Amino acid sequence: MIFLSKKPRLKVIDESKTGLNRKFLDTKTGKILTRGQVADNIDDYPDYHIMKKDGKRIIRSNPNKSKKDNLD
């Protein structure tokens, strides 16, 4: 059986000194987006969800058994 690897839709390209993801590359469109832009349009990213921490919307990969598609 052949498994095709699914390239993660979002790639973190900028984070703060504390590790907060600030900018993302949408690997499908090539657009660079802020955390807020991704959060405002989270329905366009079905493999991700939002959690709130310290009043901030945090983009998270949906849980699964693969570490390949986690945000880093």
In a domain, 4, yes or no: no
Reading the block at residue 17, the tokens are 């000194």
Report DSSP letters for 8-67, one per residue. PSEEEEEE-TT--EEEEEETTT--EEEHHHHHHTGGG-TTEEEEEETTEEEEEEPP-S-S
Instruction: Find the domain containing 37 and state its range.
Output: 10-61
In a domain, 44, yes or no: yes
In a domain, 30, yes or no: yes
The reported pTM is 0.80
In a domain, 35, yes or no: yes
pLDDT digit string (tens) for the chain, length 72 residues:
555 557 899 999 999 999 999 999 999 999 999 999 999 999 999 999 999 999 999 999 888 766 665 565
Question: How many domains in the chain?
Answer: 1
